Each structure stands twice: as C-alpha cells, then as structure tokens.
Amino acid sequence: MAEYQQFDYDVLVIGAGGAGLRAAIEASSAGVKVGLICKSLLGKAHTVMAEGGMAAAMGNVDDRDNWRVHFADTMRGGQYLNNPRMAELHAKQAPARVHELEAWGAIFDRTKDGKILQRNFGGHAYPRLAHTGDRTGLEMIRTLQDHGIHLGIDVHMEHTILDLLTDAGRVTGAFGYDRERGRFKLFTAKAVVLGTGGIGRVFKITSNSWEYTGDGQSLAYRAGAALMDMEFVQFHPTGMVWPPSVRGILVTEGVRGEGGVLRNSEGKRFMFDDIPANYKSQTADTPEEGWRYVIGDKSARRPPELLTRDHVARCIVREVREGRGSPHGGVFLDIAWIKEKIPNSAEHIKRKLPSMYHQFKQLADVDITQTAMEIGPTMHYVMGGVRVNGDTQMSDVPGLFAAGECAAGLHGANRLGGNSLSDLLVFGKLAGEHAAKFAKESRAAVVNPDQVDRIARQALEPFNHTGGVPPYEVQHKLQEMMQNLVGIVRREEEMRRAIEELAEMKKLAANVSVTGNREYNPGWHTALDLRNLLTVSEALARSAVERKESRGAHFRDDYPTKDPEAAKFNQVIRRAQDGSMQLTREPLPPMTDEMKQIIEEMK
Amino acid sequence: MATATFQIWRGTRESGEFKDYTTPISDGMVVLDAVHQIQAEQANDLAVRWNCKAGKCGSCSAEINGMPKLMCMTRLNQIPLDKPVRIEPMKTFPLIRDLVTDVSWNFEVKKTIRKFKPRKPDAPDGSWRMSQADVDRPQEFRKCIECFLCQDVCHVLRDHHMHGEFIGPRFMIYTAQLEMNPIDADDRLPDLRKSQGIGLCNITKCCTKVCPESIHITDNGIIPLKERVVDRFFDPLGRLFRKFGG
Ligand code: SF4
Ligand code: SF4
Ligand code: FES
C-alpha cells in the first residue's frame, strides 16, 4: 500500500494561474470547500509573464466598440473554428471581469478622464486591451492571489498531480506529490477544475516556462475526456533570438501596438507585401496611415504589423528563408524609429514598455529606444485542449471542468493577443461556479485504493531503473524533434516520421533512471513530466497530419490553402479501449441566427 | 570552448557543502543557464527554482558571489570568471535543498495585512475614476515580483531574526501600495506601528539596492509610511488639527 496524506474537498482546482485562481475564488465564494494546487509557488504561474493586456470591449477609448465587434474579431481570428457560444460569452462578460479586478485592487493604466486605458492589439478592431504597462499578467495574477488568500482556500504550493481519480466514469479526486519532500498526497473532490495552462515545453524555442508540460490535457485524456483542436499551436511572431540563451523569450505585441514596425535586412517594411484578403479592408495602405492609427486617428486603419499572429509569424519565416533576415536568423522590430514622430520618444518608450526596455538592456545589451530589436517566432500558446461545454466548462467526464489555456474552444484556429487573459477570467469564473454547483449536487467521492496504488508505484519506477537514459536527454530529444518536424511549417512525411519517433521515445521514457532521492529532485520531476509531454506531442502530431489544409496557426507546405470542407469540423482526440489514441472529425457547434448576422455585418 | 567553474551549495538543512562544477560557457549566458547546464549534464538532482527566465516571476533568487540576485538576470559577462563563481541559497530563509529555500513565511505574513477595501464605485457600471498621476506611485510598488531578495538582505530579518516583529521591506511596500491606492478606504497605520514593526527599519536602504525591479522601496515607500505613522501617533499638534478639523 502506498503511503499518503489525504485531503478532502468539494472542489479541487489544479493550477494556480489566472484561470485556476479565478475558479478557486468563484467556487470558494459559492460556499464550498476548495483546495488549490500550484506546481510552483503561489503567484509564479505562467500568467505572470503575460504582457500586453486583457481584451474587453469597454469602449473607454473608442466608443464604437461593443461585444458584437469583439465577438466578430474573435471568430475571424479563429477562422470560424471557434465554439461560437464561448466567443459570445467571452465578449459579453469580459468587461465585468475587468471591473471586478479593479474592485479587488488591480491598478490599470488610465485614460485622461480617469477610466481604464485600452490599447491596440493585433486583430482587434478598436483599442481594447486593458493593461498595466507591459506587465498586465503580473497585475492580474497578483490581484487574484491577494484577493484569494483571504477566502479560506487551501493552497498546496509546489505540488504536482500525477493522475486524476475516477469512479464509475465520474471524477473523484486526484493523486500527486509535493515537490519539496516528494511525499504522496491524495485529494478527494466532488468536482475538479483543470487550469494547468499549455504545452510549450514540447518545443525547443518557446516563451513558456518549465511548468507547461501539457499536464491538464494529459490528465483529462487519461481520465477519458476528449481533446480538441490540438493541431493549432500559436507561434508568437516576436520572440528574442539573441543571445542564444534567451532565444524564445517573448517580446510583447504591445511594441507593435505602440508603433513598432517590422523590417527585413534591406530595411523594408515587408508586412505591406502580403495582406490577406479578409483583412484588406481593415489594414492601412501606407506607413503614414499606419502611424495615424497608432496615435489614435479613428479614420485610419491598422498597420499590417498588427495582423494576426499566425500570419505575421509566417511572413517572418518567409523573409528569413529568402535570405532577408537579421544576422542571428530573425528580422528587425523597430520602435526606436518613432523618434522621427514624437519628441522625448525615449521617455515615452520607457514608460509604455518598461519591462521590454529592461529585458533587452539587461539580457542583450540593446537599448530599444535607440536600436532595433532582433526577433523571430517562438512557440507561445496552444489553442486546442480539453473539450468543454461552452456554458459550464465541464468536459465529457462528469465533474471534470477545464478553463484557460488547457481548455479548447474559444480561440479556434488562432488566438488573438489579449484574448487569453480575458479567457482566464471569464471561463475561470464559469468553471468555478459550475464546479461548485456540481459539487453541491453530488455525493461524496469514492476512492479506489487499487488505482491509487498503481499511480504511486508508477511514479517511483524511475528510481528502480539503473543504466537507463537520464530524463533531460529524452526531454531535449523530444523538443528538438517536435521543433523540426511539427513546427511552424508542416509537411506530411515529416509529421509521419514524428509519430514514429514518438513511439520510440515512449519506450525510452519508460526506462529513464534518476539519481538522488525524492526531496526536491528536478531529475525525478522531469522524468515524471515526460509522460504528459509525450501524450500532448502525439495528440498534436496526429491532429496536424489529419488536417490537410492550411488554416489559422496550422500551416502545411503540402496543402498551402484553405479547404472549405475542412472549415466544417473540429478534430477530436480520445483514448480508445486498448489505450491507443483515436482521432475523429466532429461537426462545428451550430451558430444562432444572431451570431451569423453579426459575422456577416462585420465581414 | 571557454569554460567557467561554479561553486554551488549542495545539501539540506542538516548538512551540506560547496561543490565545484566546470561547464562550457557561451555568449550572452546568464547564471541560471549555467546552473541548468550543470543540472542536465552533471547533477540531475540539483535543486533550483525558476519559471520565466526573464526576470518576471521572482523564483530564481540566490546569492551570487555574496550578492543577492536573480540568477536569470545575471549575465556571466558581468562577473569575474577567473575564479569560481559562488552560488548559494538565500540565507534569511530556512534551506530546503541546494539553492531552494523555504519562503513560506512571506506568504503567511501577507495574510496578516488588511486587504484592499475599495470605496463605493464612482460610476453605475461599478467602475472608478482615477488619474494616471495618482496611480503612478502604487503602480511602482505593484511591479514587485516577490523575489524576496529585499527580505533576504534586510538586517532586521537576516541578522536579528525578528520575523515575528517585522514584516520586512516587501510587505512595507505591499502595504504602501494599498495605502496609496486612491480608492482604498481602509486604514493600516495602527498595524504598521504595532504588529508590523515599521519602527524597526532604520533606513539603511539595503533593500532598495538589491531590488531587481528598481522599486524605490525606502524613499518612495517606507519613508512616506513612517511619516504618516509619525503624523498620526507622535505629532500632538497634528492630532489636534485632525480632531477639530474633522
Ligand atoms: S531600509 Fe529598512 S527595510 Fe530596507 S533593508 Fe534597511 S532596515 Fe531593512
Ligand atoms: S520589492 Fe523588489 S526586491 Fe523586494 S520582493 Fe519585490 S521585487 Fe523583490
Ligand atoms: S526565473 Fe523568473 S525571475 Fe528568474
């Protein structure tokens, strides 16, 4: 029998970034007993790194904005593969979620008349992102954290969940360990909310932290839930490329929102060369018009640098491939040029983009108020994840909810910048609310001791192996392989090869050996993360092979155009009886007449 | 290829020692890169905290050649590499293992500070009006990434171990941002004076010097708070004014 400590909750929330914290706050406010699991220390989750802002159609800067425009922008950005109900709820509820943060102590940048200031961002028709300089994620997570600690939520810091517990098809809790001492913990719960974030560590060049190993997606998959849209992985166009050790670290889209432009080695603003048809009417024709947009001229259209992320990333790849890249294999992002337009530009840039200034100064010896930055695409976000009901956020497994990046639906084939932080709040709240409701209506969970024993035994196995490969080696191999074979530009034979290699890596991973003991042992933690990394990699590769078209963030060299037939379905992954991964096509959820009309109007 | 040697603390609360690791170095590397490389290649179980690798999460605090710093923001070209670089855990907090310390005390302290309490909203949609000039100061304090380096270096905690009487610089500015939030309606001055020990700070400014976010902890935070406390509790004339001035 495995030894463990037991905790009993009504609602267990796994993950303490924006979505998890917001869910825990909501569930706790509904009067149920809540446990919250963080993989890191509280307040350090990946949300902290979000820079630009959260999208909410408050209309503080441009009063033409409203939920309908936000809805249409989100659907267009997602190439209409989004769950339209989620896009609707998100657009309608985001403003209230932002105001609520202010009521909990957040301090956003202000307009002249004292309201919350909103900034421009790619794919949003109007200035829509509430922000605090370029550290909005920090503002958000700190606010939720500082509010949450007074609500009686039981916080378990530096804990990792190994598997969910189920009984008769329903979720009954989770089993894991504390990273500090390596002791096992059993959490029973009537409902579980996943808010574990993304899968960035599958790739070599990523803006994501070590925590992003696809835990929520994998836990849900093993517990019987469906994953959806896993082929859609967003490569953010602007990550740092030099020095090598910082490769992949994010450079906020806010730089472009404040007037930053992209240039190739010939000094040309190459984004003007390729403007997709469905964005033509909204995009500036000349640099001059683009600048007027930046400074708030309402008759001007957006500069092409603010096209959607998938498109900008691909244009950068093109420039580099055709030999017009920067010295370290990226292109130039220039904000310093605005000195031609405004006095005191250096001060202005430092005030608007303080952490970018800081980051480049300290890590690359570059003063962005004077010199252009070198940037290139970096894996940033996964649109796919656990498939949920748009109204309740419940997955196919009764009692199991998911919100934020680990859930699918809101963003479709491509996410707009700024729609992530608002996603966390809107759906974190809904997940918490419905999980609490589900818990109140449910009987106490039954725990199956055999299941617990099996999970514990499996977790300790790496200590029993001797002479196996070290876990870091497998991890690096996987990252290298996925980067090369299932990256920004995809091809059939490469992805087939990736699937084969994944099968080999699974065998390697089953035999990794670790040294040392169970106390704060990163080698062991990495060994345990491998299983989830491999699961999401496989889901990603299989989905990408089967979508034989290019749409949103999914770009195929061998099928470079959109296929109207493929616009009709989402791809869904489930675990078959025999443990293999199965993929099905499922028709898109239907749209109401009102939704269709909005989309038509704003085409 | 060039190499450098790192002297890293290995061990637990009970026992430990510095161990030397030599590893290749390259352009633009930071201390955390070196630690990760050593972890991947020579010491798989080397314990270290990190998340963002961009100075944003405040996880990777340590003492590098005796200086409290974020490992991810300390470039190797800023430290002499002709002798071993010493990396050790923060000293003010109990050690867990290697470079990882138990910082839970900080989380407990935060809970004891009276939470944000807004006045009634200014507009019917539940929002408030504030000017940018009025929020500049609290926004400065809200840049804090909770790396706890200031707590590590403050002598009241580090040398005098007065964790029970003094909340430390991090929570002084946490309180300051609440007190200076234009819409907050609570009062934290009595607590600051009594249980939170603001009088114990003697403005050495060591905290300000190590803050990776360049927050003016003392000048903009602690000193104004001290002034408010003095005005309220030790200035009889001011008290009289308040009494009759309403
Ligand atoms: S100024 Fe005060 S809080 Fe800061 S280190 Fe010195 S004594 Fe500590
Ligand atoms: S005030 Fe500065 S040094 Fe102190 S915890 Fe915050 S960021 Fe770190
Ligand atoms: S790893 Fe986040 S601050 Fe260093």
**Residue A260 contacts residue A356 (beta carbons within 8 Å):** no
Indicate the residue of A42, A138, A245 with minimum beta-carbon distance to B107. A42
Chains A–B, number of C-beta pairs less than 8 Å apart: 174
E strand or H helix at A175: strand A170-178
Predicted TM-score of the model (pTM): 0.94
Quickly tell me which residue has 């490329």 as its tokens.
Answer: A241
Indicate the residue of A99, A107, A362 with minimum beta-carbon distance to B138. A107
Quickly tell me which residue has 């829509």 as its tokens.
Answer: A128
Predicted pLDDT at B246? 41
Q: Taken in order A143, A147, A148, A149, is the CA torsion positive or negative? A: positive
Interchain pair B110, A149: CB under 8 A: yes
User: A517-530: per-residue pLDDT in tens?
Assistant: 898 898 999 999 99
Euclidean distance between CA atoms A448 and A165, whole angstroms: 8
User: A474-495: per-residue pLDDT in tens?
Assistant: 999 999 999 999 999 999 999 9
What is the bridge-based pairing of β-strands A184-194 and A400-402? Answer: parallel
Q: How far is the CA of A381 from the centre of ligand 3 (A)?
A: 20
pLDDT band (50, 70, 90) for residue B27: confident
Contacts of A26 (CB under 8 A, 6+ apart): A428, A429, A430, A431, A432, A433, A436
Point out the residues of A that are catalytic: 236, 256
Euclidean distance between CA atoms A247 and A142, whole angstroms: 27
B38: Cα within 13 Å, side-chain hemisphere: 24
How far B215 CA lies from chain A's nearest CA (Å)?
Answer: 13
| DSSP for B86-146, written as a single string | EEE--SSS-EEETTEE--HHHHHHHHTSPPP-B---SSTTS-----HHHHHHHHHHHT---
Could you give the angle at the alpha carbon of A336 between the alpha carbons of A333 and A339, nearest 5°? 145
User: B135-155: per-residue pLDDT in tens?
Assistant: 999 999 999 999 999 999 999
Indicate the residue of A100, A364, A514 with minimum beta-carbon distance to B44. A514
A66: Cα within 13 Å, side-chain hemisphere: 5
Predicted pLDDT at B244? 55
User: A575-593: per-residue pLDDT in tens?
Assistant: 999 999 999 999 999 999 9
Euclidean distance between CA atoms A262 and A238, whole angstroms: 10
**Which residue, among A109, A138, A517, would best test binding to B if mutated, counting the most B CBs under 10 Å from its CB?**
A138
Predicted pLDDT at A200? 95
Structural domain boundaries in chain A: 5-232+383-440, 235-379, 449-569
Q: What share of chain A is helix, strand, coil (3-state, %, to 5)?
A: 40, 20, 40
Contacts of B45 (CB under 8 A, 6+ apart): A514, A515, A516, A517, A521, A522, A523, A524
Euclidean distance between CA atoms A474 and A537, whole angstroms: 13
Enumerate residues lining ligand 3, CB below 6 A: B 50-53, 55-60, 70, 72
Predicted pLDDT at B243? 54
Backbone angles phi and psi of B20, in degrees to 5? -90, 135
Integer CA distances (angstroms), A52 to A278, A288, B20, in order = 25, 24, 42
| DSSP for B132-168, written as a single string | HHHHHHHHHHHT-----HHHHH-HHHHTT--TTT--H
Q: Is B45 on the interface with A (CB under 8 A)?
A: yes
CATH of domain A235-379: 3.90.700.10
CATH superfamily of B3-101: Beta-grasp domain (3.10.20.30)
Contacts of A463 (CB under 8 A, 6+ apart): A513, A514, A518, A524
**Residue A456 contacts residue A184 (beta carbons within 8 Å):** yes
pLDDT band (50, 70, 90) for residue B28: confident
CATH of domain A5-232+383-440: 3.50.50.60
Residue ranges in chain A modelled with pLDDT below 70? 1
Helix, strand or coil, per DSSP, at residue A490 = strand
Predicted pLDDT at A104? 98
pLDDT band (50, 70, 90) for residue B210: very high
The domain made up of B104-244 has a fold known as Fumarate Reductase Iron-sulfur Protein; Chain B, domain 2 (1.10.1060)
Length in residues, chain A: 603
Euclidean distance between CA atoms A461 and A266, whole angstroms: 56
Q: Where are the alpha helices (DSSP H) in A237-285?
A: 254-257
Euclidean distance between CA atoms A93 and A433, whole angstroms: 14
Q: Is the pLDDT of residue B224 over 60?
A: yes
Could you tell me where in chain B the CATH 1.10.1060.10 domains are found? 104-244
Q: How far is the CA of B146 from the centre of ligand 2 (A)?
A: 5
Integer CA distances (angstroms), A72 to A53, A65, A325, A492, B228, in order = 19, 11, 34, 33, 51
B143 interaction partners in chain A (CB closer than 8 Å): 135, 138
What is the bridge-based pairing of β-strands A154-156 and A159-167? Answer: unpaired
Please choose, from the candidates A215, A167, A164, the residue with its C-alpha nearest in 3D space to the C-alpha of residue A187. Answer: A164
Q: Is the pLDDT of residue B236 over 90?
A: no
Q: What is the ipTM of this complex?
A: 0.94
CATH of domain A449-569: 1.20.58.100
Predicted pLDDT at A444? 85
Integer CA distances (angstroms), A531 to A162, A471, B45, in order = 10, 11, 19
B167 touches ligand 1 (CB under 6 Å): no
Among protein residues, the one with the nearest Cα to ligand 1's atom 3 is B169
B225 touches ligand 1 (CB under 6 Å): no
| Most distant pair of Cα atoms in chain A: their distance | 72
Question: Can you count the helices (H) and strands (E) in chain A?
Answer: 16, 20
Euclidean distance between CA atoms A202 and A199, whole angstroms: 6
Looking at chain B from residue 53 to 112, which residues have their Cβ under 8 Å from any Cβ of chain A? 53-59, 73, 75, 96-98, 100, 102-104, 107, 110-111
Euclidean distance between CA atoms A334 and A208, whole angstroms: 24
